Chains A and B, each alone.
Chain A
């Protein structure tokens, strides 16, 4: 079946630190992959996406590369800010969405 596994949080970093949130997937076909961000009390906002192998999605300094060989889509940012504090969800789309469990990121000043 289809599923997404992402690292458990919370992840606590100091401002300007490097961020990696791991995400791996299993899929019966060739899905599209997404990262969504959710701020407290709000819905999901699309952060970035990749629709095929080796594609790199990027937005607001965040990046993720669709790695078919390792079935991964790890989220990275070179220098996090306090405003990046939120919950991040990895997801795959194969006729319907499958979400990871979410990783809470806390960035301290």
Chain B
């Protein structure tokens, strides 16, 4: 099946610094990638949808200047948490959708990145 990777799997940073998380589709072209945030013992909250080569679409309440998303290629999307604060600590999960013709465009999820801001 299709594989999505994330890097790093966990990161600890100081308050005020920026952190970049990568999401890669390893064996398929992902024209659309999604970024989710998951708080402890809660469900996934969609943050934004990114399409290759265009600006991301953010869900209501998500600060686009805080969470910068870039989807520069068909296999890579990045989420940058700028000026991170402790309340940004969370589990961030990406997913990718394969839009090749004839293939059901199911979403495949990455393993997640745990961010801890001190």
A-side interface size class: 10 to 19
Q: Is B109 touching A102 in the complex (CB atoms < 8 A)? A: no
Determine which of A43, A49, A51, A104 lies in contact with B93 in the assembled complex, contact meaning CB atoms within 8 Å.
A43
Residues of A within 8 Å of B114, CB to CB, are: 41
Asked whether any CB of chain B lies closer than 8 Å to the CB of A66, the reply is: no
A43 interface neighbour in B43, B106, B111, Cβ under 8 Å: B111
Q: Is the CB of A101 within 8 A of B43?
A: yes
B71-118 contacts to A (CB < 8 Å): 93, 95, 104, 106-112, 114
Q: Which 7 pairs across A and B sit closest by C-beta, in order of nearness? A: A43-B111, A43-B112, A44-B109, A99-B43, A101-B43, A99-B44, A102-B43
Not counting A43-B110, A96-B34, a sample of 11 additional A-B residue pairs whose C-beta atoms are within 8 angstroms of each other reads A43-B93, A44-B44, A44-B93, A46-B108, A46-B109, A89-B43, A97-B44, A97-B95, A97-B107, A99-B44, A102-B41
